[in-house]
Structure 1
Amino acid sequence: MKYYAIIVAGGSGNRMQTETPKQFLLLNNLPVLMHTVKAFALSELQPKILVVLNQQQHSYWNRLCLEFNFNIPHEVITGGAERFHSVKNAIDTISEESIISIHDAVRPVISKNLIDTTFRYALKNGNAIAAIKPIDSIRKKNGEETEAVNREDFFLVQTPQVFNSVILKKAYDLPFSNNFTDDASVVETNGTKINLVEGERNNIKITYPIDLDIAEWFLNKNAL
């Protein structure tokens, strides 16, 4: 079986309060996206890595690769208007039956173990979605008021989200919907049962400035 990793890197820097897209911000003296690519390159399954970038960012990424002497093999795919279209563009380049892992570029602290576990689970069961249980109390909006809900009934969904290519390609033949919040929601809409796999607390998504500091701490701790 062949393995692929689609790393979606189309985010902006709006909530980071910076003009630089967050996938290019420096983390431990290396752009965030490079940490993510390195993580998948360490996988025992040795997936072919596809990095999805906005067309206007291709040349900038090429310059960064030269500047940081970054030579891990990967293919750059042009992104689309929405995340859905970006993932579809990458999927459409894959012709053989395979196991495809889709991961946010701005989750750079993912472990080799989680990557390999989700690949293997999806190989056996068709799909594998990393998720963790919430630790905070949760309240649900109900009109103008809120009500407490049982946090044991909820999961916080992460990436990677990993699928057999046959399942994934059929799902991404659907027309785009604003209800597609991630790849699992696309596949589920097409009638496939979703399998959750335990994610990792350190698999954070860099969204706000403080997240860079947290990710740096995790990377340094893992290096010890």
Structure 2
Amino acid sequence: MNKVAIIVAGGSGKRMGGDLPKQFLMLHNKPVLYYTLNTFLSSYDDMQIILVLAEDYVDMGREIIDAYFEKDRIRITIGGVTRFDSVKNGLSMVTDEAIVFVHDAARCTLSADLIHRCYEKALESGSAIPVIKCSDSLRMITEDGLNEALDREKIMLVQTPQVFHSKILIPAFNIDYKDWFTDEASVVEAFGMMVSLVEGEKQNLKITHPIDMATAEKVLENLIV
């Protein structure tokens, strides 16, 4: 089965507090985006990548590709206003039947093993959403301004890559956008399909705040990159 990874790298990184989007910040003398691309390309010899970038950063993305990777395995498209739009733009470049991975560029510490497990699950059931258990206590703010405890045993934290057969994902992204579409799983569920969960990885963190860079740096020291 064809394998296509849509790497969403269109964010501005405002929460990091700097001018440069987080996917271009340096870790161990290489940009964050390098590690994400490298893990996917190394996971399968036939993995193809569609890199979704903000228009202002296309040249910077091309510089990374030219410096480290085979150009024929990575294509670039422009991101949209929302994540939904960006993923839809990436999906427009998927022309053949495939297992499609959608992954945040800022999650640069995932393992090839997670990619393999997601692929096998999606091949079997049509979808694979990596999740991890929540270790913190949780409270929900109610509509009347009060709050109540939630059972954390019933709560899972969702990660990427979110993986689907193209026959499911592409039609799902033809529905109208809703504000509560926070990931691909929510889009597919709105389309009327159930999703399958797989065990994620604690190390598969999303770089959002400056402290996450230090954590990612430590994780990468223990990975083959």
Q: CA deviation at 1:43?
A: 1.0
Instruction: Deviation per CA, 1:14-43: give whole Å up to 9, x if none.
Output: 110101001101111111011100000111
Higher mean C-alpha displacement, 45-54 vs 26-35: 45-54
List alignment gaps of at least 5 residues for structure 2.
Answer: none
Q: Give 1:45 deviation, angstroms.
A: 5.9
Structure 2 residue 185 is the aligned partner of structure 1 residue 184: yes
Q: Which residue of 1 aligns with 2:12?
A: 12
Q: Residues 65, 43 of structure 1: CA spacing in aligned structure 2 closer, same or farther, 3 A cutoff? A: closer
**Runs of 4+ residues over 4 Å off in structure 1:** none
Give 3-state SS (helix, strand or coil) of 1:222's partner. coil
Report deviation, 1:94. 1.0
Residues 139, 146 of structure 1: 8 Å contact kept: yes
Name the residue aligned to 2:174: 173
Contact 1:9 1:104 in 2 (8 A): yes
TM-score by length of 2: 0.95
Q: Distance in 2 between matches of 1:122 and 1:171?
A: 16
For 1:193, what is the secondary structure of its paired residue? coil
CA apart distance, 1:12: 1.2
Distance 2:166 2:201 in 1: 25
Between Structure 1 and Structure 2, how many residues are aligned? 222
Q: CA deviation at 1:221?
A: 2.2
C-alpha spacing 1:62/1:45, structure 2 compared with 1 (3 Å): closer
**Corresponding residue number in structure 1 for 2:40:** 40
User: Which residue matches 2:69?
Assistant: 71
Give the whole-Å Cα distance in 2 for the aligned partners of 1:112 and 1:223: 10
Q: Percent identity?
A: 43
Structure 1: tracts of 5 or more residues without a match: none
Is 2:149 the counterpart of 1:145? Answer: no
Letter in structure 2 aligned against 1:103: H
Q: Partners of 2:164 and 2:87 in 1: how far apart?
A: 13
- What is residue 116 of structure 2 aligned with on the other side? 116
Alignment partners' CA distance in 1, 2:191 and 2:92: 18
- The answer on whether the counterparts of 1:40 and 1:46 sit within 8 Å (CA) in structure 2 is no
> Could you tell me the TM-score, scaled by structure 1's length?
0.95
